[in-house]
């Protein structure tokens, strides 16, 4: 099995509930910016080769290019960085290529074969309190996205009282921060300078931010207004109950409040 080598590639580096699915789908729907899916999702007891049904690096690469490449030769993926999972993924890639991962100082030397002419995109969300609330609400409410044909799951007032969990929210809040810190450490170590896209800015200026990305990628395409919008925001007024409660609980016992 073989697939043509992409002319251009990019990875969207993101964290959960930072708008990565919204951004990925918007770029995909242009038809000229690849198809950024989560190609690296594995369990701690699984592997990419097993997940993609292949037994060699060449077959894995071809399968990923087949899934993530648009007709004009742009290859894309969406990736939520986690050091534990990254180490498994990188080790597997090296071993499939017959390379000792412990002997590789610059990991991007390995990745450039899979991601030719790579242009990284870093997606962040400023408000980590709202991000943690969105993550926990998705877990407990079992609605991660709202597609065009779907309706918002209406949650009762009892839901917000019954499932509020400061320990869980605090864990997710810190996890968002640590994931982004690990991502930035990776960029610094490997001297990468990605374009930074902020979730809040994307929501405020959808077409402007998409066109900024396409210009960075060198793709001649202009998004007009809100075309290519796919997902609807899951947050609603009821979500604000948790946001306000959580931000206050985070600062409980402080001599002053920062928010």
Predicted model pTM: 0.91
User: Does the residue 255 lie in any domain?
Assistant: no
- Look-up: residue for tokens 């999702």? 41
Residue 106 lies in a domain: yes
Q: Judge contact between 66 and 3, C-beta under 8 A.
A: yes
Domain count, the chain: 1
DSSP state of 77: E
Residue with tokens 């080790």: 91
pLDDT at 226 over 70: no
Asked whether residue 3 is domain-assigned, the answer is no
Q: Which pLDDT score, from 0 to 100, does residue 232 have?
A: 64
CA distance linking residue 191 with residue 210, whole number of Å: 25
Q: Which structural domain range is residue 134 located in?
A: 8-250
CATH number for the domain spanning 83: value is 3.40.50.300
Does residue 121 lie in a domain region? yes
Higher pLDDT, 229 or 126: 126
In this prediction, residues 159-175 reach a mean pLDDT of: 95
Per-residue pLDDT at 158: 86
Per-residue model confidence (pLDDT) at position 254:
96
Share the mean pLDDT of the chain.
91
Tens digit of pLDDT for each residue in 84-133?
A: 999 999 999 999 999 999 999 999 999 999 999 999 999 999 999 999 99
**Is position 258 within any domain?**
no
Which H/E stretch holds residue 90? helix 83-96
Q: Per the domain annotation, does 158 fall within a domain?
A: yes
């Amino acid at each position: 099995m073989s697939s043509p080598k992409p002319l251009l590639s990019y990875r969207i580096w993101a964290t959960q509930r930072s708008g990565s699915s919204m951004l990925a789908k918007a770029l995909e729907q242009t038809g000229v910016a690849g198809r950024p899916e989560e190609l690296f999702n594995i369990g701690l007891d699984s592997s990419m080769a097993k997940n993609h049904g292949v037994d060699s690096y060449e077959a894995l690469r071809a399968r990923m290019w087949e899934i993530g490449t648009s007709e004009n030769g742009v290859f894309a993926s969406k990736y939520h960085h986690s050091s534990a999972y990254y180490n498994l993924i990188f080790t597997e890639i090296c071993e499939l290529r017959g390379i000792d991962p412990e002997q590789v100082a610059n990991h991007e030397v390995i990745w450039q074969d899979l991601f030719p002419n790579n242009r990284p995109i870093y997606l962040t969300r400023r408000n980590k309190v709202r991000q943690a609330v969105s993550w926990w609400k998705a877990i407990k409410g079992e609605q991660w996205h709202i597609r065009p044909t779907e309706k918002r799951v209406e949650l009762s007032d009892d839901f917000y009282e019954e499932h509020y969990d400061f320990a869980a929210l605090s864990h997710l809040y810190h996890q968002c921060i640590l994931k982004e810190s690990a991502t930035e450490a990776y960029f610094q170590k490997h001297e990468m300078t990605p374009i930074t896209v902020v979730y809040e800015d994307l929501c405020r200026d959808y077409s402007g931010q998409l066109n900024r990305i396409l210009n960075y990628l060198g793709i001649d395409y202009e998004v007009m207004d809100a075309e290519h919008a796919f997902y609807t925001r899951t947050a609603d007024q009821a979500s604000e109950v948790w946001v306000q409660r959580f931000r206050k609980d985070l600062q409980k016992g402080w001599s002053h409040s920062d928010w």
